[in-house]
Structure 1
Amino acid sequence: MTDQAFDADGLFDDDYLRFFAEPLEERADVETDLIWRLLDLEPGMEVLDLGCGHGRITGRLAERGCRVTGLDVTSAFLERARQDAAARGVPVTYVEGDMRSLPWGRRFDRVISWFTAFGYFDDEDNRRVLTEVSRVLSPGGRFAVELNNRDWIIRNFQPASVIERDGDLMIDQRAVDPVTGRVVTERTVVRQGLVRRIPFFVRMFTFTELRDWLLAAGFRTVTGHGDDGGPLIPDSRRMIVVART
């Protein structure tokens, strides 16, 4: 299973927001608090949100006084993010682009990658993302990446799940590929009587593997955290890795 399909346009579209935007918004204030604490953020800092989506984190960081830039590959997400920033009355710069080739120099004090926004490429390109993050961070800068904890996923693996929103359905059927280190998913969306199927995958990491990748990308120190920023343990559903240049 090394030649795996990935429908990026199908995965990140209005259906994604239909099923995920509301629950993500409900936890955004708590997650912003956590990011602020883990990265020791201060007003005036330059912050880059990689894979910013519809701007739920960027807008809140801007409200706290950070100078925020959000990058995403999906124009529809960015349009919604711009509307959110306008509604909040805060300045946020949104850029449509590829995280594998960032259009900045050594500019940012902090970079974040939240809600499994990392791991959608082959290993060479995933590593390139980390190298790019290291390149655009100022000396002493910090990077926080939040994603699934592989140890928890393997121990609690669910081959299928269903999300329902007012009669619409999102059905995920999953398999673990130990050769590529990915969870490979076929997503079926049933919305307003129409059926779509979207294949995609995401790379999983143990802390030690991702730590070594970050060190190889030019970071000096790397620490691991579990749910809510606590200790990383096998029962942590999520993993937050903080790296410093």
Structure 2
Amino acid sequence: MAQTPDSSARRQMRQFWKEHSRGSSLQEMMLDSGAQQLSEEDTPEVLALLPPLEGRDVLELGAGIGRFTGHLAETARHVTAVDFTESFLNRNQLENGHRPNVAFQQADVTSLVMPSQR
């Protein structure tokens, strides 16, 4: 049976992240006390797997506190960072809101509605 955005499981997920996002830290977002070291080790690996982003629009789903947002914005034409956890998205906006090519949207990606292409 397919999950709908309003299913019990989605409500539980939203509640879980609401409870585990109060400090909007990397450790909370990754649910790991060693998150800083993990991030330093895996961020270059993850970014190396991406295709060239020059001139492209990027939709970053589950953007969280912006662990990848700034990196994506360095080369992409535009980045839309989406997350359903308000405190994480607020932290992302604090870190990356100065970038003119980044937009932020709080939404559940399972029911995301995007404006028509620019």
Same fold (TM over 0.5): yes
Instruction: Choose the corresponding residue for 2:25, options 9, 14, 17.
Output: 17
Q: Quote how far apart the aligned CAs of 1:82 are.
A: 0.5
Tell me the secondary structure at the aligned position of residue 88 of structure 2. helix
Deviations 1:149-199 (A, max 9, x none): xxxxxxxxxxxxxxxxxxxxxxxxxxxxxxxxxxxxxxxxxxxxxxxxxxx
Tell me the secondary structure at the aligned position of residue 104 of structure 2. strand
Q: Quote how far apart the aligned CAs of 1:45 are.
A: 1.3
Equivalence for 1:102: 112
Checking the alignment, whether the CA contact within 8 Å between 2:24 and 2:91 is kept in structure 1 is no
Q: Quote how far apart the aligned CAs of 1:41 are.
A: 2.3
Equivalence for 1:72: 83
Q: Distance in 1 between matches of 2:42 and 2:92?
A: 17
Equivalence for 2:60: 49
Q: Quote how far apart the aligned CAs of 1:85 are.
A: 0.6
Extract structure 1 runs of 4+ deviating beyond 6 A: none
Rg: which structure is higher?
Answer: 1
* Unpaired runs of at least 5, structure 1: 108-245
Q: Quote how far apart the aligned CAs of 1:104 are.
A: 2.0
- Does structure 1 residue 6 correspond to structure 2 residue 5? no
Checking the alignment, whether the CA contact within 8 Å between 2:80 and 2:105 is kept in structure 1 is yes
Instruction: Choose the corresponding residue for 1:62, options 42, 54, 73.
Output: 73
Q: Distance in 1 between matches of 2:37 and 2:44?
A: 13
Tell me the secondary structure at the aligned position of residue 100 of structure 1. helix
TM-score by length of 2: 0.64
Instruction: Choose the corresponding residue for 1:33, options 32, 39, 44.
Output: 44
Q: Residues 94 and 31 from structure 1, CA distance in 2 versus in 1: closer, same or farther, beyond 3 angstroms? A: farther
Q: Distance in 1 between matches of 2:58 and 2:70?
A: 11
TM-score by length of 1: 0.35
Q: Distance in 1 between matches of 2:60 and 2:16?
A: 22
Deviations 1:91-150 (A, max 9, x none): 31110111112222675xxxxxxxxxxxxxxxxxxxxxxxxxxxxxxxxxxxxxxxxxxx
Tell me the secondary structure at the aligned position of residue 108 of structure 2. coil
Q: Which has the higher contact order (CA 8 A, sep 6+)?
A: 2
- Does structure 1 residue 81 correspond to structure 2 residue 92? yes
Q: Distance in 2 between matches of 1:96 and 1:62?
A: 18
Q: Residues 34 and 19 from structure 1, CA distance in 2 versus in 1: closer, same or farther, beyond 3 angstroms? A: closer
Checking the alignment, whether the CA contact within 8 Å between 2:83 and 2:108 is kept in structure 1 is yes
Q: Percent identity?
A: 27
